[in-house]
Amino acid sequence: MEIVSFGETCLRLRGREGIVVTDAYPRIVGPTGRGLTGDICTYSHPDGQSTLGLESAAKPTSKSKSKGRSKAENGVPTSLEPAFLLDSPGEYEIHHVLISGVRTYRDDELGAQRGANLCFVFELDGIHVVHLGHIGHLLTEEQLDEIGAVDVVCVAVGGSLSAARAAELVAQFDAKLIVPMPLDGAEAPDGELARFLHEMSVQLGEPAPKLTITASTLPSETTVVLLESRSRS
């Protein structure tokens, strides 16, 4: 499986089963998507896009099999319009990719300040990846059970959570790989990314252009991998 960053929480995950793109908001990848394509496109929160179901969702939804939505009417980059759009909680199997969407929030007040968020779990090439979106709180035991065991945690840095809180969040998982997703401004020399890496006891190094892993090459100890953003390149 290959993971590439396109800026902030926008990632492309490529496996044998298909290609998943997360949080491809036009403000990050532009209205055309700059050629970014995929089979499945997930959105963790509306980010001003009125077509996304999260915008009107105010309460938790029970976990169930769902058909999702095949396309957005607007607000999705044109290069991703053919992709299958997921923006709601539930369990899905699309292009042989197993996906779970778990309801969370963008603040620590059940969404009262910033609204809903979705954490998505993907199984690609036998590897379980959780993309935490713009989550603003630690996970409950129920939410952890819904997410299940994961190998890779992708966590936003510089959003609602402080660096220390983000480190506490990823510690809730027994994951082998941590992929920080720095939000706008977090990469400043004294910004939240540097503080997060300090909390994780990691030195800030050169970001990698991509992360390529297999089930057999997962590290034995928790490892933090910072990815280079292809956004606006």
- Cross-strand pairs, 4: 12
The token pair that represents 137 in the structure block = 């709180």
Closest alpha carbon to 213 in 133, 144, 154, 147: 154
Burial of 138 (0-12, 13-18, 19+ CB in 10 A): middle
pLDDT band at 138 (very low <50, low <70, confident <90, very high): very high
The residue-averaged pLDDT of 120-126 equals: 98
**What domains appear along the chain, each with residue ranges and CATH number?**
2-224 (3.60.15.10)
Question: Which residue from 28, 90, 37, 31 is spatially nearest to 63, judged by alpha carbons?
Answer: 90
* Strand 223-224 to 211-212 pairing: unpaired
The answer to pTM > 0.85 is: yes
Q: How many other CB atoms sit within 10 Å of the CB of residue 148?
A: 13
Distance (Å, whole) CA 141 – CA 143: 5
What is the C-alpha to C-alpha distance for residues 160 and 166, in angstroms, rounded to an integer? 9
pLDDT tens digits along 30-66: 999 989 999 999 999 987 554 454 443 333 333 334 4
Mean pLDDT score, 151-176: 96
Given this model, what pLDDT does residue 48 score? 59
